Structure 1
Amino acid sequence: MGLGLAVGGLATAYRVFLRERCLTWGATGDEASMTMPGDDLLAEPAVLATRAITVHAPATAVWPWLVQMGSGRGGAYTYDWIENLLGLDMHSAREVLPEFQNLKVGETYPLGPKGPRLRVEILDPDHALVFRSEDGNWVWAFALLHCAEGIRLISRNRIAMPHASIPARLFNLLVMEPGSLIMERRMLLGIKERAEALARNPISIAPA
């Protein structure tokens, strides 16, 4: 009973004081509430996270890093050692990989050997990229918006949990949501670092 009360109190405190900041790191109020490509693919998510960062580079320097993301591809630009503890086989590239630049709508690839398969649902070069898991319970969208400093890179996760038990929902609330902030923050910073370096030293990307 004591443990249950403690977990309940922790969940309440997180919802009241920290959850909004966790789920909207870096995003303005307008960005968190705006409609993004892919929103209609999962209309009523149990979890909605919109995070963003300013990249001092043009969209053409950001886009190559997005399209090559994935296990066995360019990685996720986050903490590889954590990803690989989970068996995701992520190795974040420091260079643009021409063989992964020709992404197309309808392509699928796994998020690690044991992870879900992601399908490219929307691909608008230099503007928007949207993935959806094959079970339909996760939509991951990226939008590139022009701003005075360069580009606002916005990442939105829409997650459904149709059959999750109460313990599973609590685990997601208290562990997975804060954990996703740690990983996605590092990912956005990793893309920013790479895109800004590419903008300073542009290269010609030959087709694979």
Structure 2
Amino acid sequence: MHSAHEILPRFQHLAVGDVLPLGPHGPGMRVEICDPASTLAFRSEDGNWVWIFHLEPQRGGTRLISRNRIKLPGTSLARRVTYRAVMEPGSLVMERKMLVEIRDRAESCVAVREPLSA
């Protein structure tokens, strides 16, 4: 997956019930909550993954919180342990990179819009 480096108009009008593809083989992610001022929540079409983004005002700025939960129904103990040992740390690294890039883009937009003081 690659991040967009510009605002894509086709993704600016999400509504509850919309489904975003998650790659060619993954289940789609259905919008469950869409409050543009604070919360965007997705649930995978198979019901096994929930991912929530929430904006929290904080000390003159805004904090973006990302939480997700994945269940692995019908998997063996060995697969669950492997997932926790390998996939969760990898996911954490990728998610942190995504959040840092979102922060950098948001801050660069604010810097462009704010006039420089003399």
The normalised TM-score by structure 1 is 0.52
Query: Of 96, 105, 113, which aligns to 1:185?
Result: 96
Task: Please report how far the alpha carbon of residue 95 of structure 1 lies from its aligned counterpart in structure 2 after TM superposition.
Answer: 1.4
Residue number in structure 2 paired with 1:138: 49
Aligned match for 2:69, one of 153, 158, 164: 158
Q: Quote the sequence identity (%).
A: 58
Distance 1:138 1:103 in 2: 19
RMSD: 1.1
Partner of 2:27: 116
Partner residue in 1 for 2:116: none
Report how far residue 99 of structure 1 moved.
2.5
> 1:101 matched to which residue of 2?
12
Normalised to the residue count of structure 2, the TM-score between the two structures is 0.90
Q: How many residues align?
A: 113
Shift of 1:108: 0.5
Indicate yes or no: 2:90 matched with 1:199. no
Shift of 1:199: 1.3
Rounded Cα–Cα distance in structure 1 between residues aligned with 2:75 and 2:59:
43
Q: Does 1 or 2 have the higher relative contact order (CA < 8 Å, sep 6+)?
A: 1
Q: Deviations over 1:82-133 (max 9, x none)?
A: xxxxxxxx22111112222111110002210111210000000120000000
- Structure 2: gaps (5+ residues): 114-118
Q: Give distance in 2, aligned partners of 1:99 and 1:108.
A: 13
In terms of fraction of residues, the more strand-rich structure is 2
For 2:40, the equivalent position in structure 1 comes to 129
Question: SS in structure 2 opposite 1:201?
Answer: helix
Which of structure 1's runs of 4+ aligned residues deviate more than 6 A?
A: none
Tell me how far apart the structure 2 counterparts of residues 142 and 125 of structure 1 sit (CA, whole Å).
Answer: 10
